[in-house]
Structure 1
Amino acid sequence: MASDRGLYYKTPSTNFSTSLPLGNGRLAASVMSSPDRESLLLNEVTFWSGAPHTAGSGLISRPADPKAELRTTQRCLLDGNFNQAKARVQKYLESKKRNFGTNLGVGRLDIVVHGREDVSEFERELNLNEALTETRYKKGGHDFRRRCFVSHPHQVLVVNFVTSDPDGLELAVCMQGEGDAFTSWVQDGRLHFVTQALENVHSDGTCGVKGHGIIAAVVEDGKIEERDGKLIISGQGGITILLAFNTNYHESESEWKNKTSIHIDHASKLSMSNLLAAHLADYQLLYQKASLTLGSGSEETASLPTDERRRNLQASKYTGDPGMFALYFHFARYLTIAGTRADSPLPLHLQGLWNDGEACRMGWSCDYHLDINTQMNYFHVLPMGITEAMQPMVAYLTSSPRRAKVLHVHVTDPGWEMTYGLNVTGGLWMASHLIEIYEYTLDDQFLRDTAYPLLKGAAEFFLDYMIEDLTTGWLLTAPSISPENSFLVDIPGKHREEHCIHLSPTLDIVLLRDLFNFCLYASKVLETDTTFAEKIKATTVKLPTFQVGKHGQLQEWLQDFDEAQPYHRHLSHTMALCRSAQVSVRHTPDLAQAIKVSLERRQDCSDLEDIEFTAALFGLNYARLDDGEKALSEIGHLVSDLSFDNLLSYSKPGVAGAEENIFVVDGNFGGAAAIMEMLVRSSMPILEGPVEVDLLPALPKTWTQGRARGFRLRGGLEIDLEWSQGVLTKASFRAMSSGTIAVYYGGHCFKSGYQVSDIIELGSELVVCR
């Protein structure tokens, strides 16, 4: 298999870390293949434990006048009374966990293959271009092949078996649930099961959504029998197993069960070739939008199993196989399309659409972590051109029952611990994706109908939430945190104390300045809310400026505190560089240097909390600092050292209470975003100004040649890039909106206006080639 087409192995899979992921944006499977069985771990995005509750109902104590209490707590912080502020937050802003819940695995589908044991030439793969797994081997000189995919058009899991053996096949099919609330039975030649998402770590063990599944078989020249609650299927030709599963999430009692029967009945009437053709037509429409080739590559390297290539990349210090970075990029594109679609009922969570079961069993929960993980799931989506994948997240933000929850949850019902629960801008950070959607599309209807109304509401909330520091004149968010990190305070006459609550951490400043500038721009474009815009304009100049500390670092907090955990995994203050245009090498070189110092100081710690999203953030930041070699080292470390053999990224044991390597999908997505940032960067420092595009800004020396197609840029642009011997040879821009552009490469700059459908082709000296 060629290096950019998929994952390939010569050894069986018996656990999650070697399984191959499939999905249709709602239903997912992790495929474990061995000669004697095909086992699939099933997931569904709405299969959650827990129950709804009203925001604020979990507060430990409710003040008589919440606004007055907030101001009292803020004044404590302004006066430096950290312990008083902490006590008030614990009393009035921390909440009980209650029945929050978690996304659980549905169960395990086992298909046992009866027959001889003389297996040879075993191999399995995940074909990224076709979104299917395939397992091949020989028994007794005969060929055996299995193919699995999850169809989005037909909403079923498909597992197909074929063989050249004249004796045919015999399969035993059973389904196991992950908990006690699971029942299965065979009726009319089909295996039915019902289950409920129950657990007692994140809820009380009595509440959760219900699910209903049906497993059916389509047999050519064979029969279906029942034995001990299993389906026993035999056939001379091919055998196709179909599975449909739905839950009662936002469905009536009759509708959700009927859906499962409708899906299975419809799919059962179609041939394997028809099911596959519909699946490919639907999937490839999205997957073939973009491509990337890195390095010339050798046939020998490209044909190696993926686990061997990963180890070889590690041994070469990440320089020996550029094609592995292209594979990681394409795997992230695949995971995005498999994990979320325009009609997905919920957005991507901590593990995308899959689940290794580890986060569910500990304090993390497989849910929406709003202090980097959920945001990073979407860092790559718009540059990849998979704009449809943003829709479930947009729906989650804008649906009325959730809007208050997402934007205000960390104030009205903030969480169970201050270090992450008081992340008051977590919802805003999520909502900032709406700004990016507009920057990439320049869609004024989206601006008018979706982005501006929600973000105006967020601005109104923070205008009311902030307090003025009469000494500096700054308007400050308080109480607030820099997610999960803490600092040391010298108390006069006492020892140093560790605290996490303070005023306007740098992350808040970044998010609020981008929010307010966007609202000003939108008000101007839409010709509305002039009075509100004037208020925003007056507030923006009162936001704190970025502060450089005693070590030359960008401060994480408003004051130059020493970090209590200098090795910490979160890099929230660096969002000013890697996720915003507020800091850049071109426009604010001193601040860019300060962030470089912050990164180096963090990396100098021998006990750095070295996990998947941290490596991705280092890679993104170094790409923005135009340092291709350091960006390569970080993303190479992510691919080689912080990803399983199946290339899914993970968090190490010992970090944030993890006892095992825990799959977290944000590393895959953040890594892909960093790879794109190394090759092309677009920014809009001023929304109404030109789009700034940097070509090959952080190209490593070992990526001597390559080609990128279909990358999206801010300003409604799409680009194709080619380079050879480390030098740009061609850049072709296609315009889907109107605007102006400034392109930078190798000391050259090209500036131009463009209209819809324009094509601009540039050479290495940025001269027009057409």
Structure 2
Amino acid sequence: MSMLCTNAQENTGNLVLRYDSPAEHFEEALVIGNGTMGATVYGGTRIEKISLNDITLWTGEPDKEVTTPGAYKALPEIRALLEKEDYRNAEKANRKIQGHFSQTYQPLGQLTIEYGDNRSKDISDYSRRLDISRAVATTQYKNRDGIHTSEYFASAPDSVIIIRLTEPVNGIKATLRFTSQLPYSASATGNEITAEGHAAYHSYPSYYKGVPANEKHLYDPERGIRFRTIIKAVAAKGDGEVKSYPSGEVQIDGCREVTVIVANVTSFNGFDKNPATEGRDYRKLVKKRMERAARKTYEELLHTHIYDYQRFFGRVSLDLGRTADSIASLPTDRQLRLYTEQNQRNPELEALYFQYGRYLLISCSRTEGVPANLQGLWNERITPPWSCNYTSNINLEENYWAAETANLSEMHRPLLGFISNLSKTGAVTAREYYGTDKGWCLGHNTDIWAMTCPVGLRTGDTSWASWNMGGAWVSTHIWEHYLFTRDLGFLKQNYPLLRGAAEFCMNWLIEKDGQFITSPGTSPENKYIAPDGFIGATSYGNTSDLAMTRECLLNAREAARTLATDKDFIRNIDRTLARMLPYRIGKKGNLQEWYHDWDDQDPQHRHQSHLFGLYPGHHISTYATPDLARACARTLEIKGDKTTGWSTGWRVNLYARLKDSKNAYHIYRKLLNYISPDNYKGKDARRGGGTYPNLLDAHSPFQIDGNFGGCAGVIEMLMQSDTNSITLLPALPDEWAEGKVSGICARGGFTVSMTWKDKAVKSLTVTSRQGGTTTLHFNGKRKTVRLKKNQTVNVM
């Protein structure tokens, strides 16, 4: 991997989430993470709940069996039915090409700290905070004995979660317990709790009706991923007492300061290794981690954590203007609510949301080959929504849209490594489900085992279960990473993966009326209305299939040219692109989604997959394909602005690419629409897509992709780039007429810092990582700059 963008500057603005009461619901609690371990902190005063996660704790085992052998044999039947325009029966037949569901991401457990005194009656001056500039959460309040403070952080260098409790007057009286929804046992010795358990060796999603609810998870002590958790309470010598009980609890009595260390390791040892028989020595590893951390003081652990975290977070600063003091002084949830209900101006909240996306990515994406999942890292449910898996028809990829532009390229690595795993299982899927021995593909879902087959168990709705373009989509991240880093070694190593995805796409195409199309195909989760009134998903020549295929082929071709290899492959791509069915504009002026100009069952559907070529793709643009860009704009106009969280994040980026600053900002505000916690039952409950009180994305329920999509969208409004140029302030809204940003990254290996006023750039600095040339577009002018490696130039 190459050197990455570095332009650390002091961050400006408010970088603290603040609340004046404990969290009652998950969507109010504060999340911390070190990329592998995560915690959700509620900030209770009588009982403190801290939910724990490990990103490698999943149900299942390596995905080595084909659920539906020879499924590809159904293809001629499906294609024949489609050729006869028999969509009803084609829909039924398409279910024959479905395999098993993904496995499920699991919660590790919960640490509770129960205080022994009757403090809840004497609480005042309560404060709960998350400082994302330091990645430290704090709970503080006064009680009858003085000030109680709890500090929490998740250290990546030491691979532990740290909690420091302080009550300087009379000391702390509390009991520590660990519980888990998984099969486990816990014991305590001295000042330490040790818990051990295991996940199910197989699970089914909550929405699958083929098994009873009590059989969704299948357990066997000899199978599945194991875990061991150690929780140690360390007090200063002579400062009170810490002791254990046979019940598996640890009690703190009279200590004025206690450091609680939490370590966990699972037996997961790779996507193709049996975690029970080929797993890591998790017991030895967790013991080693605990011993190493326990030798350090709290101050040493904190310093190491902050230094490590700020190496990444401090690279980018953003100032969109000042918020009125009367608003900025309010708790974050109240600011969010007023922002929604009274349409208040709050540029500091808007900038905080952007930086919070960067905080979340650093916190949940640092484990090699295990990317951020549907909820990033933080899940409390044993049967979570959509298995908390990787949904590859948008959500997995959206998690990483800001990785390069927001100067967090290292956090892209877990996904990039995961693609290599997908290519291996995906080659089997290409052969067994789609009848091609060239390349690899990926269906609607995947999991830690890199499953790639189309899901559904022959009962799934084809609108989502029968999609197969995940490999084409996710592989574009390889080329994107290269464009930002110019790391030829990385490109050479990963080029076979990109080529394999392109080979599948070309082999999957069929000819109809002299043009290449896909058949069968779907447009993710959307449905059409056929002339006879039939509502279906299975069809042919869908725009989203062809858009993702085009982008994949264009990327693979450019990669081959860059590496000066595979001339025959390049020629094959050129011939294929020339014969692919072109984009078409529908009767409403929209970009046509289906082969026939049919209406959608839901005109405001959350998915806009057929706009892929505009964003995150690059082959539709306002300057190169203005007619298609206008059709994309019309499509978005028809869809409106009421949708889910992740979809709203996507639309911010689409409008930004259209240079539509007014709508880009309007949709960004929609993304920050205040949503009540899911289980909140009050009369003033607000439902829908937007943002929860703790700033996590509301699909709803919680999905983290909207946070990352919104983060990426801010940069798309401020800067856009391609292989040869950088455009500054392409979709800057009037509300951000003055501001400054530093450290954002552009394609070509450039880092940009600038200030602007009255919507015009006033100062501009560009740094080149590898050396190169780019043309800058700003203030109605263009200027070409040529830089050497690591050279910085003040353009103005």
Contact 1:174 1:229 in 2 (8 A): yes
Q: What is the aligned partner in structure 2 of residue 532 from structure 1?
A: 569
Residue 404, structure 1, aligned to residue 427, structure 2: yes
Superposed displacement of residue 700, structure 1:
1.5
Q: What is the aligned partner in structure 2 of residue 649 from structure 1?
A: 697
Rounded Cα–Cα distance in structure 2 between residues aligned with 1:211 and 1:326: 38
What is the aligned-residue RMSD (CA, Å)?
A: 2.2
Q: What is the aligned partner in structure 1 of residue 265 from structure 2?
A: 246
Rounded Cα–Cα distance in structure 2 between residues aligned with 1:352 and 1:404: 27
Match of 2:79 among 63, 70, 74: 74
Residue 327, structure 1, aligned to residue 352, structure 2: yes
Q: What is the aligned partner in structure 1 of residue 370 from structure 2?
A: 346
Superposed displacement of residue 542, structure 1:
0.9
Q: What is the aligned partner in structure 1 of residue 114 from structure 2?
A: 112
Rounded Cα–Cα distance in structure 2 between residues aligned with 1:726 and 1:237: 54
Residue 225, structure 1, aligned to residue 243, structure 2: yes
Contact 2:551 2:613 in 1 (8 A): no
Rounded Cα–Cα distance in structure 1 between residues aligned with 2:243 and 2:355: 42
Residue 595, structure 1, aligned to residue 651, structure 2: no
Superposed displacement of residue 596, structure 1:
0.8
Q: What is the aligned partner in structure 2 of residue 182 from structure 1?
A: 184
Unaligned runs of 5+ in 2: 1-10, 206-215, 270-274, 430-439, 445-451, 675-689
Q: Deviations over 1:553-591 (max 9, x none)?
A: 001122211111212111111222121221111222211
Residue 41, structure 1, aligned to residue 85, structure 2: no
Taking structure 2 as the reference length, what is the TM-score of the superposition? 0.87
Contact 2:12 2:319 in 1 (8 A): no
Contact 2:266 2:280 in 1 (8 A): no
Residue 284, structure 1, aligned to residue 310, structure 2: yes
Superposed displacement of residue 530, structure 1:
1.2
Match of 1:156 among 145, 154, 160: 160
Rounded Cα–Cα distance in structure 1 between residues aligned with 2:341 and 2:35: 36
Match of 2:490 among 423, 446, 458: 446
Query: Kindly tell me: are residues 455 and 201 of structure 1, through their superposed partners in 2, closer, same or farther at Cα, counting changes over 3 Å?
Result: closer
Q: What is the aligned partner in structure 2 of residue 548 from structure 1?
A: 585
Q: What is the aligned partner in structure 1 of residue 511 from structure 2?
A: 468
Superposed displacement of residue 464, structure 1:
1.8
Contact 1:94 1:421 in 2 (8 A): yes
Rounded Cα–Cα distance in structure 1 between residues aligned with 2:474 and 2:787: 31
Q: Give 3-state SS (helix, strand or coil) of 1:408's partner.
A: coil
- Report 1:676-715 matches (<5 A): 676-684=715-723, 690-691=724-725, 693-715=726-748
Rounded Cα–Cα distance in structure 2 between residues aligned with 1:699 and 1:706: 10
Match of 1:487 among 515, 528, 536: 528
Residue 206, structure 1, aligned to residue 224, structure 2: no
Q: What is the aligned partner in structure 2 of residue 477 from structure 1?
A: 518
Q: What is the aligned partner in structure 1 of residue 17 from structure 2?
A: 7
Task: Give the counterpart letter for 2:15 in structure 1.
Answer: R
Q: Give 3-state SS (helix, strand or coil) of 2:754's partner.
A: strand
Task: Give the counterpart letter for 1:446 in structure 2.
Answer: F
Contact 1:189 1:226 in 2 (8 A): yes
Query: Kindly tell me: are residues 344 and 527 of structure 1, through their superposed partners in 2, closer, same or farther at Cα, counting changes over 3 Å?
Result: closer
Superposed displacement of residue 29, structure 1:
0.3
Tell me whether 378-387 or 441-450 shows the greater mean CA deviation.
441-450
Q: Give 3-state SS (helix, strand or coil) of 1:577's partner.
A: coil
Q: What is the aligned partner in structure 1 of residue 470 from structure 2?
A: 426
Q: Give 3-state SS (helix, strand or coil) of 1:708's partner.
A: strand
Q: Give 3-state SS (helix, strand or coil) of 1:744's partner.
A: strand
Rounded Cα–Cα distance in structure 2 between residues aligned with 1:253 and 1:466: 40
Contact 1:14 1:33 in 2 (8 A): no
Rounded Cα–Cα distance in structure 2 between residues aligned with 1:513 and 1:454: 16
Query: Kindly tell me: are residues 557 and 177 of structure 1, through their superposed partners in 2, closer, same or farther at Cα, counting changes over 3 Å?
Result: same
Task: Give the counterpart letter for 1:62 in structure 2.
Answer: G
Superposed displacement of residue 639, structure 1:
1.3
Rounded Cα–Cα distance in structure 2 between residues aligned with 1:410 and 1:478: 15
Superposed displacement of residue 402, structure 1:
4.2
Superposed displacement of residue 548, structure 1:
0.3
Q: Give 3-state SS (helix, strand or coil) of 1:707's partner.
A: strand
Superposed displacement of residue 499, structure 1:
1.7
Superposed displacement of residue 375, structure 1:
0.8
Tell me whether 289-298 or 714-723 shows the greater mean CA deviation.
289-298
Superposed displacement of residue 204, structure 1:
4.1
Contact 1:29 1:354 in 2 (8 A): yes
Rounded Cα–Cα distance in structure 2 between residues aligned with 1:223 and 1:164: 15
Match of 2:594 among 531, 536, 557: 557
Tell me whether 495-504 or 567-576 shows the greater mean CA deviation.
495-504
Residue 58, structure 1, aligned to residue 81, structure 2: no
Rounded Cα–Cα distance in structure 1 between residues aligned with 2:427 and 2:164: 46
Residue 85, structure 1, aligned to residue 84, structure 2: no
Rounded Cα–Cα distance in structure 2 between residues aligned with 1:648 and 1:187: 38
Contact 2:190 2:242 in 1 (8 A): no
Match of 1:29 among 39, 55, 58: 39
Taking structure 1 as the reference length, what is the TM-score of the superposition? 0.90
Tell me whether 517-526 or 324-333 shows the greater mean CA deviation.
517-526
Superposed displacement of residue 374, structure 1:
0.6
Contact 1:723 1:729 in 2 (8 A): yes
Query: Kindly tell me: are residues 505 and 740 of structure 1, through their superposed partners in 2, closer, same or farther at Cα, counting changes over 3 Å?
Result: farther
Rounded Cα–Cα distance in structure 2 between residues aligned with 1:521 and 1:71: 34
Superposed displacement of residue 94, structure 1:
1.8
Residue 216, structure 1, aligned to residue 232, structure 2: yes
Rounded Cα–Cα distance in structure 2 between residues aligned with 1:703 and 1:745: 16
Match of 1:413 among 448, 453, 456: 453
Contact 1:2 1:302 in 2 (8 A): no
Superposed displacement of residue 275, structure 1:
0.8
Query: Kindly tell me: are residues 512 and 386 of structure 1, through their superposed partners in 2, closer, same or farther at Cα, counting changes over 3 Å?
Result: same
Contact 2:268 2:279 in 1 (8 A): no
Task: Give the counterpart letter for 2:168 in structure 1.
Answer: S
Superposed displacement of residue 38, structure 1:
2.4
Superposed displacement of residue 163, structure 1:
2.1
Q: What is the aligned partner in structure 1 of residue 209 from structure 2?
A: none
Rounded Cα–Cα distance in structure 1 between residues aligned with 2:428 and 2:673: 38
Query: Kindly tell me: are residues 570 and 212 of structure 1, through their superposed partners in 2, closer, same or farther at Cα, counting changes over 3 Å?
Result: same
Task: Give the counterpart letter for 1:558 in structure 2.
Answer: Y
Residue 511, structure 1, aligned to residue 530, structure 2: no
Tell me whether 475-484 or 323-332 shows the greater mean CA deviation.
475-484
Task: Give the counterpart letter for 1:87 in structure 2.
Answer: K
Q: What is the aligned partner in structure 1 of residue 765 from structure 2?
A: 732
Q: Which has the higher contact order (CA 8 A, sep 6+)?
A: 2
Contact 1:296 1:705 in 2 (8 A): no
Q: Give 3-state SS (helix, strand or coil) of 1:447's partner.
A: helix
Superposed displacement of residue 457, structure 1:
1.1
Superposed displacement of residue 197, structure 1:
2.1
Aligned-residue sequence identity (percent) comes to 28
Task: Give the counterpart letter for 1:150 in structure 2.
Answer: A
Unaligned runs of 5+ in 1: 653-661, 685-689, 763-768
Rounded Cα–Cα distance in structure 2 between residues aligned with 1:515 and 1:120: 58
Query: Kindly tell me: are residues 254 and 316 of structure 1, through their superposed partners in 2, closer, same or farther at Cα, counting changes over 3 Å?
Result: closer
Q: What is the aligned partner in structure 1 of residue 176 from structure 2?
A: 173
Query: Kindly tell me: are residues 301 and 204 of structure 1, through their superposed partners in 2, closer, same or farther at Cα, counting changes over 3 Å?
Result: closer
Q: Give 3-state SS (helix, strand or coil) of 1:481's partner.
A: coil
Superposed displacement of residue 649, structure 1:
0.6
Superposed displacement of residue 753, structure 1:
3.6
Task: Give the counterpart letter for 1:380 in structure 2.
Answer: A
Residue 388, structure 1, aligned to residue 410, structure 2: yes
Match of 2:361 among 327, 336, 345: 336
Task: Give the counterpart letter for 2:583 in structure 1.
Answer: F
Q: How many residues align?
A: 723
Q: What is the aligned partner in structure 1 of residue 272 from structure 2?
A: none
